[in-house]
Amino acid sequence: IALLYNVIEQYDSSFYFAKQTIALAEELSSNFALAKGYQIGGNALIKLGEYPMAFAFLNKAYDLLKDSPFQIEIQRVYLDIGYVHYY
């Protein structure tokens, strides 16, 4: 849901549901889902102009993924971190 709100440019709602994703992923002990929640939340924060918080969220996503086999997801997070530096 968070990603869909991001796609339709409803960034406040995207961030809200990203936080819900993070909470659920913590309950389920799913590092991958937790990383995706932080990544999507970070992307919403970029669009909201909250760059320091976006950077923190995206770094958290990276930390959760860095030792995983999901190389494409790590690359996507790197790209997102680059966007923060661009803005």
Give 19-39 pLDDT, tens digit per residue: 999 999 999 999 999 999 999
Per residue in 26-52, is it b (16+ CB within 10 Å) or e — as a string?
eeeeebebbbbbbbbbbbbbbbeebbe
Asked whether the predicted pLDDT for residue 87 surpasses 80, the reply is: no
Q: Are 45 and 57 in contact (CB under 8 A)?
A: yes
pLDDT (0 to 100) of residue 7: 86
Q: For residue 61, with 0-12 CB atoms within 10 Å meaning exposed, 13-18 middle and 19 or more buried, which class applies?
A: buried
Mean pLDDT for the stretch of residues 63-70: 90
Model confidence at 64, pLDDT cuts 50, 70, 90, reads very high
Q: How far apart, in whole angstroms, are the C-alpha atoms of residue 1 and residue 48?
A: 18
pLDDT (0 to 100) of residue 60: 96
